[in-house]
Chain A
């Protein structure tokens, strides 16, 4: 069944005769070796002053010099501690539990430190929110060489004493109000401290500003439950999930819902959750949905109103198109049937819509939504922010202290804010960067990274996290809270203050335990509804009015949806090269943001995407106009599955100040974020020029090997035998069909793999949401270099693990199968695939993490002329860098296209000015893994440094290894449990069970490579009833 489905990675593939696809299917390395560039043309050669004799002289001299230099090794110094800290043993890693909280991402993490420097973030399995790609990458932001290193006053470096003295004096003589404009700290201690600060100075206002606002959801929650918070959702309990425009696998409502969601997606006892997504922008959540319905932004509102009607038993008066209405009716039926296992979520930036979603969940009796211990991770108040800017311009504000936010960059009305800043006497910014806002300030307080700070985080009203330093501050920095303590003449440090605050409020855990675990349950020692009094009017919520308001939403012209991308989020870590190079899971484009537009709209506007000869993607530019704001030169990306009439653009890009030049990419979409609403009306006009994308879409084409993905429906999965939907490929041996795994049809002799460890990895396509956390974890663990936009465009990305995204063409799986089965002959197939191109209006998506498959019969091993890649007894396909001479035969012979070639020296090379090119950035390197040099091949090693360490620890302690101890970076980072790693020779292990699972298959089984990476067939819950 699965083999009947046609998969594609790019619209280009659907074209009947694409020379680019043809080229790519024949070549592993698209680019020719640029000998022309090297030799130049004839004229340049002739005009060159270097004669042949000179050339030979230089060559001779440099060879002689090189060989002479090679004879004498360098003198290495070894400098031990003068006094070695008790817990640090050189060569042994220490782990600390802490919490990331940058105002956008909140996550409990474990930090791996080596010789006192953090080198890797691991997820803290005790935490409430999992770690996404940005959290994993945050360790590199610690070593950002654009960080502010010491406090500044009026552009001059000053000491903290002077800084404190001057600011305190000015605060005491301030003329007007003192305003604290901060990120969401979600920290009871900070709230208490700010309260004390207010009491000391009087006339203090605290305004919380979320760069990407959840204001409507907060207001809706308050109207219903009396406090500004967000409901907690546990998607692992969900049976039916209906989402209207909520990207809940992304950053919706503070993010971190994906781990629970994935638990419900693995079919167990014939059951899995059903997920229906109504959306406009093609989001990560939509890509994971069982059924995805595209509609415009205004239709989303009407759809929610209609759904409310259908669920509460009434009817709907909406004039939605038939197929949407039909889908809503079916969804409502399923929701009602599921009862407490049902949940409706929405991302519509509208108080009515958010209130209605809460109402629907309540009427369903949803056990997924929890309003009794709500989330506190978003507290921003847009009304207060607007009021503040108005007051600043009115000259009422005497002093402003800005912490953790960059309003001069991210406010939709940044211009007014900048004007307002000029009217404030005392402007103090607490920042890690000399960013747009810091440049406007008199005083800039250099703040530490969260890995150098103390703190507490209120995840929900019951669950808390502690933040502790994992490294001595790299620079002369002081955290916001410590500075406030000094300014309130409090002599304690924030660490002590924290401890005092929590005395008696930690429930059953002690301070030391809580610090050890990083998380604890308790009650907040300080409750202050911050900014509550500033909300203009309290919202009273009436369902009837809400339904009317939503149904009446006008839908005219083109609409714009602003979203946050998986890689960049709100843009807090824009100077992080790992994140810049992380391809978007859907578009597979890196180093950019772009306007996603549907094919139909693009055609109507005359916009094009074009592949140049090496397969790289180019696109037109457009100018966007929202209200009276114009955003110029936005590149256009034609996205299959984008709703007609809706374009979307990612926030968080286009930062300039405090950002390295290479990472000043994309356009700043915040000026279009009018009124902090992510839905806008927009007009588009085509602009001149062609934009070059760094997009991995066409790279490594399928060559018709559709067997790489297997999927089925829950119904077939439950009712039919596994060989129907997970068929083992067979070949004919003496006219008898024989499975390809049979030794009789094998070219090679197998080795005995039953002795010792034999590592295998299982990747569950059902649980994988495509979030990219594993890609970044692999980056950090294995010292994978960043190559930059130009090189990615040439398909020279170095990711050892990539997440392939496959589209399939039909609206529903059944239609797809039906169509394919009815095809006859090549001509028919071609024309029908052509038709499927039209169906690319709403393709289905499968994410497939693709890494070295560690084939037991590896094609790469047999072609290496120098035996630089060979097989280990534990199942790993080993790559030996010091043996490799760079013939690239192995990459050419790899059917999975997972080998990566070092085209250049990526470390200590000014041409690749990323983290490996400065001393600070190199501190993140894992000392247990070689940093590769130019001209060698590299690839996934199954994290052999980690398995070896596990083995050694067991040997030293003289014990057997338990299941779950073996982990790779990706399996440890996957909070969804999609990637499982282990020793298959341990009969009781999870991996042994998974290798016998009936969903298990190997990618491209029929070529007989016998991979050690297994995939679990994707099952979609297509039941409509």
Chain B
């Protein structure tokens, strides 16, 4: 269900192409029920709208690009082995060159057509020598790329270079039209959901028809019976209806009332207790940042970007210059990164949003100086009267980020994993042992306290970690 609502929201947002975020609650059962019914009522409507939306059109036009390695197109007449070339390219060249699009150095696809092979060999082995010799082409390209010297690669044999050239000279794969599902509509919502709805509708319709038919048959038969004089059995009138008996039995009424009140208050309490608890809160961010790709697939350590979690009370949303450390040279995602739900173009578009924000001109490979801060939606909101310090937990306590934030490395869209209620905090403080080993600060207090409580390991609570003013001041 939550997925459903989420997708609906995003669809709407994308259509409006604004960052106007709406907070969505998943634990909100009442809201859920209302939304469920509303969505059932209007599901057809939604579908119709979605089909009209530009997003749908865009998705209709969606293309999948296949990589060169999958391409069946033959490499140009060249002695090199493209597969071996790819390997060398990725290790030595990819830091500065891309196949398509300029990076620190120029784009290399089809470089064999633009330059003489001999010249290329010389250039790759020692570009500086070529420049020093006053080669016109060499000087030109050196100046064009901000006089950044390309390191010499004397270790490459001629065949190695041929292999690389074979690889880079492969033409770009011709994009293939993807077969668009006839139903079209909102891919994010998932095809399964759509057909189920339709199926359900048909079923409901059939059921309704059956009921109508049954009623009509019954009516006709009765009419026949009356017409043919058949006497219909008349129901015997019973003594007392059951509800009357129930109402007259005071004991039963009281018991029922008590049970109803108890059950009602149980649910009311449960409902009220989750007011303000935003577990599962998953807002749509201005840039679709996928923790799945970064922390999951690429195994980037959390604190590599959230570095202030080590020293500060806040984990810190990384500033954009941190993103640019890597994304200066990663302007597009690999083919394999794309999923059914999110295409490569989608991800590349999100990286482009980063470039817009940080003011990075991809074609010039330079900062324009025009920046626009990204207004992320804050997911984990503690009230102002609660003090939480990341470094205390992460650095001192050695608690893994996932303990509270959940399987972030699997999250395509970040959400609030823990309820962040006081009970949840206190519970953990009662159960978790303090990591005292090797920390000189704890030496004395650990010795004294463990004697006092007659335990080896001390919980946070025993250390005074559930005193009110440790978090409220």
Hey, which bits of chain A sit against chain B, CB under 8 A?
70-84, 89-92, 752, 754-756, 870, 872-874, 876, 878-883, 928-931, 941, 944-945, 948, 951-952, 954-956, 958-961
Whether the Cβ atoms of B319 and A72 lie closer than 8 Å is: no
**Contact with A952, one of B25, B389, B442 (Cβ below 8 angstroms):** B389
Write out, one digit per residue, whether chain B residues 413-452 have a CB within 8 A of any chain A CB (1) or not (0).
0000000000000000000000000111111110011001
Which residues of A sit under 8 angstroms from B295, Cβ to Cβ?
none
Task: Take A77-B378, A78-B376, A80-B317 as given contacts and tell me if A952 and B469 are in contact as well, using a CB distance cutoff of 8 Å.
Answer: no
**Does residue B17 face the partner (Cβ distance < 8 Å to A)?**
no
B322 within 8 A of A: yes
Give every chain B residue within 8 A of A876 (Cβ-Cβ). Answer: 469
Please name 14 pairs of A and B residues whose Cβ atoms are closer than 8 Å in the assembled complex, sorted by A. A73-B278, A75-B22, A79-B374, A80-B318, A81-B320, A89-B311, A90-B314, A91-B312, A872-B467, A872-B470, A880-B469, A881-B385, A928-B473, A944-B473
Which parts of B5-30 form the interface with A (CB within 8 Å)? 21-23, 25, 28
**B371 and A82 within 8 A (CB):** yes
- Which residues between 280 and 314 of chain B lie within 8 Å of chain A, taking CB atoms? 283, 308, 311-314
Q: A944-B473, A958-B440 are in contact. Are A89 and B316 (CB under 8 A)?
A: yes
Query: Given A84-B321, A91-B316, A960-B441, are A955 and B376 also a contact pair (CB < 8 Å)?
Result: no
B279 beta carbon closer than 8 Å to chain A: no
- In the complex formed, the residue of A with least CB distance to B277 is A73
Number of interface residues of B (CB under 8 A): 62
Q: Are A89 and B470 in contact (CB under 8 A)?
A: no
In chain B, what residue has the closest Cβ to A986?
A: B444
A882-B385, A959-B441 known; 11 new pairs, CB 8 Å cut-off, are A78-B375, A80-B318, A82-B357, A755-B445, A870-B467, A878-B472, A882-B472, A944-B469, A944-B473, A954-B441, A960-B443
Measured CB to CB, the nearest residue on chain B to A867 is B468
At the interface, yes or no: B229 with Cβ under 8 Å from chain A? no
- How far is B321's CA from A967's CA once the two chains are assembled, in angstroms? 37
Contact assessment for B383 and A882 in the assembled complex, using a CB-CB cutoff below 8 Å: yes
Which of B75-83, B206-214, B391-399 lies at the binding interface? B391-399
A961 CA to B440 CA in the complex, in Å?
Answer: 9
Given contacts A75-B23, A82-B371, A756 and B445 within 8 Å (CB-CB): yes
Please tell me if B275 contacts chain A, counting CB pairs below 8 Å. yes
* Measured CA separation A752–B441 after assembly (Å): 20
**Which among A752, A880, A931, A958 is the interface contact of B452 at CB below 8 angstroms?**
A752
In the bound assembly, the distance between CA atoms of A75 and B358 in angstroms comes to 24
Is B190 in contact with chain A by the CB < 8 A criterion?
A: no
Q: How far is the CA of A375 from the CA of B373 in the complex (A)?
A: 49
Asked if B464 is an interface residue, CB under 8 A from chain A, the answer is yes
In the complex, B74 has a CB within 8 A of chain A = no
Q: Contacting B308 at CB < 8 Å: which of A91, A872, A878, A882?
A: A91
The prevalent SS among residues of B at the interface is loop
How far is A211 from B72 in the complex, measured between Cα atoms in Å? 89
Residues of B within 8 A of A941 (CB): 469, 473
Contact A754 B448, beta carbon cutoff 8 Å: yes
B386, B440, B444, B464: the one contacting A874 at CB < 8 Å is: B464
The residue of chain B having its C-beta at the shortest distance from the C-beta of A942 within the complex is: B469
Determine the chain B residues whose CB is within 8 A of the CB of A76 once the complex forms. Answer: 377-378, 381
Say whether A955 contacts B469, CB under 8 Å: no
Q: What A residues does B452 contact at CB under 8 A?
A: 752, 755
Tell me whether B395 and A956 are in contact (CB under 8 A). Answer: yes
Do A880 and B373 have beta carbons less than 8 Å apart? no
Task: Say whether B384 faces chain A, with CB atoms less than 8 Å apart.
Answer: yes
Cα distance A88–B473 in the bound complex, in angstroms: 24
Instruction: Give CA–CA (A91, B387) in the complex, Å.
Output: 12
B448 x A756 contact (CB < 8 A): yes
> Separation in Å of the A564 CB from the closest CB of chain B?
36
Q: How far is the CA of A73 from the CA of B316 in the complex (A)?
A: 22
A872's partner among B321, B372, B464 (CB-CB below 8 A) is B464
The answer to whether A955 and B312 have CB atoms under 8 Å apart is no
Q: How far is the CA of A74 from the CA of B384 in the complex (A)?
A: 13
B392 to chain A, nearest CB (A): 6
Contact B321 A83 (CB under 8 A): yes
| Chain B residue at minimum C-beta to C-beta distance from A756 | B445
Q: Looking at the assembled complex, report how far the CB atom of A851 sits from the nearest CB atom of chain B, in whole angstroms.
A: 15
Asked if A952 contacts B319 (CB within 8 A), the reply is no
Residues of A close to B25: CB separation below 8 A: 72
Chain A residues with CB under 8 Å of B319's CB are 80-84
Contact with A along B111-143 (1 / 0, CB 8 A): 000000000000000000000000000000000
> Are A91 and B314 in contact, CB atoms less than 8 angstroms apart?
yes
Alpha-carbon gap, A649 to B434, bound state (A): 61
Please determine whether B439 and A955 come into contact, CB atoms closer than 8 angstroms. yes
Bound-complex Cα distance A70 to B383 (A) = 13
Q: Which of A80, A90, A874 is the one whose CB lies under 8 Å from B373? A: A80
Indicate whether B276 reaches chain A with its CB closer than 8 angstroms: yes
CB pair B308–A92 under 8 Å, yes or no, is: yes
B-chain residues with CB within 8 Å of residue A873 when the two chains form the complex: 464, 467
Query: With A and B bound together, what is the CA distance between A358 and B386 in angstroms?
Result: 59
With known contacts A80-B316, A91-B313, A958-B438, A70–B396 Cβ distance under 8 A: no
Question: Are A958 and B441 neighbours in the complex by a CB distance under 8 Å?
Answer: yes
Contact yes or no, A75 B316, CB < 8 A: no
Are B283 and A75 touching (Cβ within 8 A)? yes
Contact with A along B162-186 (1 / 0, CB 8 A): 0000000000000000000000000
* Residues A955 and B441 in contact, CB atoms below 8 Å apart: yes
A71 to B24 alpha-carbon distance, docked (Å)? 11
Pick from B312, B359, B377, B449: contact of A77, CB under 8 Å:
B377
Chain A residue contacts of B321, Cβ below 8 A: 81-84
* B375–A77 CB distance below 8 A: yes
A79/B375 contact (C-beta < 8 A), A73-B23, A876-B469 known: yes
Give min CB distance, B55 to chain A, whole Å.
23
A865 to B230 alpha-carbon distance, docked (Å): 80
B312 touches A90 (CB 8 A): yes
- B384 and A92: CB pair below 8 A? no
Chain A residue with the shortest CB-CB distance to B309: A91
Q: Given the known inter-chain contacts A75-B283, A881-B472, please indicate yes or no for A930 contacting B375, CB distance below 8 A.
A: no
Q: What are the 4 A-B residue pairs with the smallest beta carbon separation, nearest first?
A: A878-B469, A91-B312, A84-B319, A76-B378
Bound-state Cα–Cα, A961 to B378, Å: 36
| Residues in chain B near residue A78, CB distance under 8 A | 317, 375-378
The digit string for B361-373, where 1 denotes a CB below 8 A from any CB of A, is 0000000000111
Q: Which chain A positions have C-beta within 8 A of B374?
A: 79-80
- For A878, list chain B residues within 8 Å (CB): 467-469, 472-473
User: How distant is the Cα of A872 from the Cα of B467 in the complex, in angstroms?
Assistant: 6
Query: Could you tell me the distance in whole angstroms from the C-beta of B353 to the nearest C-beta in chain A?
Result: 13
CB proximity of A985 to chain B, nearest CB, Å: 9
With contact pairs A92-B308, A878-B468 given, residues A84 and B322 touching in the complex (Cβ less than 8 Å):
yes
Task: Using known A-B contacts A872-B467, A930-B385, A948-B470, determine if residue A82 contacts B320 with beta carbons closer than 8 Å.
Answer: yes
A880's partner among B308, B442, B468 (CB-CB below 8 A) is B468
User: How many angstroms between the C-alpha atoms of A326 and B355 in the bound complex?
Assistant: 85
Contact between A883 and B23, CB atoms less than 8 A apart? no
Cα separation A70 to B28 with both chains bound (whole Å): 13
Smallest distance from the beta carbon of B282 to chain A beta carbons, Å? 13
**Residues in B whose Cβ lies below 8 Å from that of A92:** 308, 311-312
Which of A91, A752, A881 neighbours the largest number of chain B CB atoms within 10 Å of its CB?
Answer: A91
Which of A77, A945, A954 is in CB contact (< 8 Å) with B376? Answer: A77
Contact A952 B449 (CB under 8 A): no
A929, B385: Cα distance in complex, Å: 8
CA distance A82 to B444 in the complex (A): 44
Q: Closest residue to B316 on the A side, CB-wise?
A: A90
In the complex, what's the smallest C-beta–C-beta distance from A608 to chain B, in angstroms? 46
Q: A80-B320, A92-B308, A873-B464 are in contact. Are A960 and B440 (CB under 8 A)?
A: yes
Decide if A961 touches B441 in the complex (CB within 8 Å): yes
- Chain B residues with CB under 8 A of A880: 468-469, 472
Q: In the complex, what distance in Å separates the CA atom of A960 from the CA atom of B25?
A: 45
> Which residues of chain A come closer than 8 Å to B22, judged between CB atoms?
75
- Measured between alpha carbons, how far is A870 from B464 in the docked complex, in Å? 13
Q: Residues of B contacting A960 with CB < 8 Å? A: 440-441, 443-444
- In the complex, A931→B391 CA distance in Å? 23
